[in-house]
Structure 1
Amino acid sequence: MSSVEASARDLPSKADLDTLSLQLGRPVRDVVSIPARCVCGNPLVAATAPRLSNGIPFPTTFYLTHPVVTAAVSRLEADGVMNQMNSKLESDVELAAAHRRAHEAYLCARAEIGQLAGTGPVPEIDGISAGGMPQRVKCLHVLVGHALAAGPGVNRLGDETLELIRPWWTAEKCYCAGAWDATAPVPTKDLSRHVKRLEQQAETEQAETERGQE
């Protein structure tokens, strides 16, 4: 049994979902499992269904949620680490092969999560993983989320990123205190770009319908 398969059985509790919403500042959607946790038990990564309940395909199966980890990874992105990794992918055949294997592992894991979620096939994202895999690196957060969910050795560049953020975060220590406001009301209004797009689409369709009735 793979580490992702094992963690997929970690169904989120109500407390987990509330914590995720506080971490992200918005209500979480269609979380299937919590494949990676802080040593204290709080979520680090959310595994999301490949098709959201509103019908939108969602390719980012493993979503990095912990503010301290996401901030540390963002620091690396700002420092140009992705450019360095892309240069290595062009010159290092072994690394490029490992990146392709990570891509394939991501797709397999998504299929497992989709089965647990009951979403069935999602042809819109068939063969498409996330984070730039298999050719490039476009989002370190995706690679780290996958690395934490799958465990060491599955996503090599994700593992390397975890090593690079050790000055700011390590898996052996809890960094949750003060990372988000645990006393705040749990967010209930979804302000994500996906929901905004749906709302704008609905408003446009309603306006067109009203004009047609004039």
Structure 2
Amino acid sequence: MVIRPETAPDERQLALITQQLGRAPRGIQTVAAATQDGTPLVLRMHAIVDDKPFPTHFWLCSDHLKVAISRIEAQGVIKALESRLQEETDFMAAYRRSHEDYVAQRWQTMSDAERDIVDRQGYRDLFTRRGIGGIANWDQVRCLHMQYAHHLCGDNAIGRWMDTEYDVLACLR
């Protein structure tokens, strides 16, 4: 079962995250999703790190999930998903809502200082028009890892589809 603690990582979690990433983490705002024992699955990142936009809001850090999703991607499902989005208006509408949810969450969790940097450095357009994983064209799918990270923390049509078709969380059992 996935929990959403929305807390800063503790020392144990920071050690696990460092092991998962292979380096010390930068820009973590919270552990956004974890297993029941507190193992981080998804990190919510600060919007601005070192005065620059961080490329993603939710970062999938679980080695098990990364491997499972890489196997799905290797099957070529991104192109199939993009075709399905073009053919099914309800699926496309749900996918666009996913991007809207992502953008809204990023703005809601931004600090006043981050918003100030966004405005001062001219990044507002980047944070309002770029969706999951920084994608500008909301008719395309980029990186199932980012889609799934968002799914565990928000409303994501692709993540729901992945759970239905592949039972992604089974890799954690």
Instruction: Report if TM-score (shorter chain) is over 0.5.
Output: yes
TM-superposed CA distance for 1:97, in Å, is 0.7
Judging changes above 3 Å, is the alpha-carbon distance between structure 1 residues 164 and 118 closer, same or farther for their aligned structure 2 residues? farther
Greater fraction helix: 2
Q: Which residue of 2 is the match for residue 76 of structure 1?
A: 72
Please say which structure displays the higher CA radius of gyration.
1
Counterpart secondary structure, 1:44? strand
Q: Distance in 2 between matches of 1:97 and 1:8?
A: 29
Larger RCO: 1 or 2 (CA < 8 Å, sep 6+) = 1
Unaligned runs of 5+ in 1: 1-5, 175-214
Unaligned runs of 5+ in 2: none
Q: Which residue of 1 is the match for residue 37 of structure 2?
A: 40
Q: Distance in 1 between matches of 2:15 and 2:166?
A: 26
Task: Give me the TM-score of the superposition, normalised by structure 1.
Answer: 0.69
User: Are 2:85 and 1:89 equivalent residues in the alignment?
Assistant: yes
Counterpart secondary structure, 1:17? helix
Q: Deviations over 1:118-149 (max 9, x none)?
A: 42253422221224462111110011000011
The two structures, once aligned, show a CA RMSD in angstroms of 2.2
Q: Deviations over 1:169-205 (max 9, x none)?
A: 428x54xxxxxxxxxxxxxxxxxxxxxxxxxxxxxxx
Judging changes above 3 Å, is the alpha-carbon distance between structure 1 residues 7 and 118 closer, same or farther for their aligned structure 2 residues? farther
Q: Deviations over 1:62-118 (max 9, x none)?
A: 000101100110111111011110000111111111111110100111112213x84
Q: Percent identity?
A: 28
Q: Distance in 1 between matches of 2:148 and 2:16?
A: 20
More displaced stretch, 67-76 vs 11-20: 11-20
The residue type paired with residue 88 of structure 1 is R
Greater fraction strand: 2
Once superposed, which parts of structure 1, at least 4 consecutive aligned residues long, lie more than 6 Å away?
A: none
Task: Give me the TM-score of the superposition, normalised by structure 2.
Answer: 0.84
